């Protein structure tokens, strides 16, 4: 046990003397150990790219799901504990449908992300529970534009033009700082995201281990087929 930590990590409701919640920090560590996940905005939409990190050749790549449809105009990618992510996605889907039934319109992207984060925050202040060990990159479009949000296990959120969560976050963010440009075409943005993913994994990308989701003002959120992914991965590996 580290000096000063004592037993402050035994319960989520106890602050350490320097104002830290260790259980939340442990949840962030679970995210940092997760698969590298990338989100990037382009001219009229947002792309999500995930390295599924296939550990065995015996594993069926299609059984590993890291990108989820929430509503027709919103999707998300996860890093961290997959089971925790599924709970948050199911909850977000219910929120979206309740809003549609109640108000007769699609929920705004920021409004949904705030509700997800409110739900996550509740699990940082009650005894007998633990924080969600997952972060989400939420991509969507609405009347106010295209949006890319990152959520934190603490319930915090931030909006980005390009972002990354998971094991290679720092490498990808440094890459984006140098290479990202606004108003990118969709194909250029996807290839740039894949190049960032390649830099983080330090090896050539395998199309079967990569998942890509897209949403724009002209098309609903969808995941690309293997044939489409292979085309983009080939371009990223060649660059």
Dist. CA 22–CA 18, nearest whole Å: 11
195 contacts 175 by C-beta, under 8 angstroms = yes
Kindly name the residue from 35, 37, 78, 151 that is annotated as catalytic.
Answer: 35
Dist. CA 14–CA 181, nearest whole Å: 43
**Helix H segments across the chain?**
22-32, 82-103, 109-122, 169-179, 186-201, 226-238
Catalytic site includes residue 35: yes
Dist. CA 33–CA 51, nearest whole Å: 13
Dist. CA 136–CA 76, nearest whole Å: 6
Dist. CA 40–CA 19, nearest whole Å: 33
Written in H, E and C, the secondary structure of 202-220 is: CCCCCHHHEEEEEEECCCC
Task: Write out the catalytic residue numbers.
Answer: 35
């Amino acid at each position: 046990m580290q000096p000063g930590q004592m037993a402050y990590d035994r319960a989520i409701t106890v602050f350490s003397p320097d104002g830290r919640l260790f259980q939340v920090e442990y949840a962030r560590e679970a995210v940092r150990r997760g698969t590298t996940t990338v989100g990037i905005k382009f001219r009229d939409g947002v792309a999500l790219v995930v390295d599924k990190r296939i550990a065995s050749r015996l594993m069926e790549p299609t059984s590993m799901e890291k990108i989820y449809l929430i509503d027709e105009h919103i999707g998300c990618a996860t890093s961290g504990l997959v089971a925790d992510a599924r709970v948050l996605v199911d909850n977000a889907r219910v929120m979206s449908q309740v809003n549609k039934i109640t108000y007769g319109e699609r929920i705004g992207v920021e409004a949904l992300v705030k509700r997800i984060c409110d739900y996550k925050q509740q699990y940082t202040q009650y005894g007998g529970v633990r924080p969600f060990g997952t972060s989400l990159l939420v991509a969507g479009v609405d009347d106010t534009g295209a949006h890319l949000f990152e959520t934190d296990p603490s319930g915090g959120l931030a909006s980005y033009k390009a972002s990354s969560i998971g094991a290679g976050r720092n490498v990808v963010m440094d890459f984006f700082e140098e290479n990202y440009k606004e108003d990118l075409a969709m194909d250029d943005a996807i290839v740039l995201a894949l190049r960032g993913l390649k830099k983080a994994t330090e090896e050539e990308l395998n199309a079967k281990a990569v998942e890509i989701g897209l949403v724009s003002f002209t098309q609903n959120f969808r995941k690309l087929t293997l044939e489409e992914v292979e085309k983009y991965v080939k371009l990223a590996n060649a660059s």
